[in-house]
Structure 1
Amino acid sequence: MGEKQGSNNHSHCFDPFISPNPITSFNPVQRFPKINETAFISQFSSVIGDVTISDNVYVAPNVSIRADEGTPFYIGSNSNIQDGVILHGLLTKKIAVGTKRYSIFIGNEVTIAHGALVHGPCYIADKVFVGFNAIVYTAIVGKGAFISYNAVVTNGVRIPPDRFVPPGANIDSQEKADALSPVPKDSKEFAHEVQRVNQEFPASYHLLFGKNRCSCGVAYDQY
């Protein structure tokens, strides 16, 4: 791993903004994003603070991944964070994952679709689909769950694995979460196809823009 500085071989107008968190009374240590070299962070997106982005992750344009309050964040392999998504967390609340504690933990092969808000503390397991303009806040979402567009999952609920949150639903109690139906076949197929498409983007965009892209003169760790 090493710090990467801004390159002059292309226009910085098309770079993401990648930086450490600002020093504050509640986060007095600057921590830099850790971004796998195979991941791709698109134009006009922000990655700030103690954020780990794993291999073959695709971050689309106009995404805000901001670990300047709640921290750290983790995004697992082959996940995609689509246009307009916001990731942020509360200062004092975290989720335990193994021996570590996270503000936001996103597993492998997760889709966070256009315009969604994921606000910590939350845990999103592998192969979850979070739909357009959905909100996940203070929640644990089990493996393979499907959260439809405009749905809200909050209030400390645990969504069981492979459950379907209908469009516009407000899942704010464990009773509601436990009553959810299994994910329908067509939704599973849709989530799988979205994953297939988005897993091709990191390598393809690296070819399009060049692999040594980084923020406008701000350092981060590459691994």
Structure 2
Amino acid sequence: MWHYPNNVNGPFNIYSYFVGSNPVTSVNPTPIFPKINKTAFLSPFTYIVGDVTIRNNTYVGPFVSIRADEGTPFFIGSNCNLQDGVILHGLKNKHVEVNNRKYSVYIDDEVSCAHGALIHGPCQIDKKVFIGFKAIVYHAQVGEGSFIASGAVVTGGVTLRPGSFVPPGAHIDNQKKADSLSNVPKNEQEFAQEVQRVNQEFPSAYSFVFGKNRCTCGLSC
């Protein structure tokens, strides 16, 4: 049973988020509604607009902003987690190419984006990447299994080879710096794996808590 102070009036626990098509502008003249797998979970106060694809069992935390209103489209794979306060946005007409298709932001399967991270297109994040607290990835390609630690910045058109470790607070803005990075330490690999394990349980667990029935569009019915 829930207990509230006598002087507080409801309603309580309003489950609310915004999912909609992008606004029509000269930059992005065609309104497109997001395509969200019914097994993904959108937390309260999530904001998603435009040509965004979110695949199965992905967890989107509170106050996440995914705005495909300028750079577009965005792709977010299966079993990803975008934690509280993560921001995704992209620059107009700037793309990465994956499987012969252009994307503003491409995030592959089992990627973890920790609290407050900023992912800005054009960028490609490959499988099993960990992006730490308040880290920034902009105009970059991040190889599979890489670990970007808290407060780090990866930018400048660089490509991180698979398994690269970006130390806390590092600023990787040219290819020479990117090529000099060491491999991900074992303890950080284990940490990233545990984050994945925990967050993969959240979509189904939170769906049960909120008692939601989901349409194929991703909205509550």
**SS of equivalent to 1:126:** coil
Contact 2:40 2:218 survives alignment (8 Å): no
Root-mean-square deviation over aligned CA pairs: 1.7
Runs of 4+ that moved beyond 6 A? none
Q: Provide the TM-score with structure 1 as the length reference.
A: 0.90
Question: Partner of 1:80 in structure 2?
Answer: 81
Deviations 1:2-43 (A, max 9, x none): xxxxxxxx9894211111001111111110000000000000
1:221 aligns with one of 195, 206, 217: 217
Question: What 5-or-longer segments of structure 2 have no aligned partner?
Answer: 1-10
Aligned to 1:153: 154
TM-score (norm 2): 0.91
- Deviations for 1:113-151, whole angstroms, at most 9, x for unmatched residues? 000000000000000000000000000000000000000
Asked if residue 120 in structure 1 is aligned to residue 116 in structure 2, the reply is no
Tell me which residue corresponds to 2:6.
none
Verify the 8 A CA contact 2:21 2:50 in the aligned structure 1: yes
Q: Counterpart of 2:189 in 1: which secondary structure?
A: helix
Is the 1:119–1:137 Cα contact (8 Å) retained in structure 2? yes
In 2, the alpha carbon distance for the partners of 1:101 and 1:117 equals 20
Deviation digits for residues 73-94 of structure 1, max 9, x if unmatched? 0000000000000000000100
Q: Which has the larger radius of gyration?
A: 2
Question: What does 1:44-59 correspond to in 2, within 5 Å?
Answer: 44-59=45-60
5 Å-filtered alignment, 1:104-143, equals 104-143=105-144
Matched-pair contact (CA < 8 Å) for 1:109–1:128: yes
Instruction: State whether residues 15 and 213 of structure 1, in contact with CA within 8 Å, keep that contact through their aligned partners in structure 2.
Output: no
1:96 equivalent in structure 2 = 97
User: How many residues are paired up?
Assistant: 209
| Structure 1 unmatched runs, 5+ | 1-9, 215-219
* Structure number with higher relative contact order (C-alpha < 8 Å, ≥ 6 residues apart): 1
| Rounded Cα–Cα distance in structure 2 between residues aligned with 1:92 and 1:102 | 10
Asked if the contact 2:38/2:217 (under 8 Å) is kept, the reply is no
Q: Is residue 39–residue 58 contact of structure 1 (8 Å, CA) maintained in 2? A: yes
Indicate how the Cα distance of structure 1 residues 213 and 183 shifts in structure 2: closer, same or farther if over 3 A, else same: same
| Match in the other structure for 2:206 | 205
1:52 and 1:24, CA in 2 relative to 1: closer, same or farther beyond 3 A? Answer: same
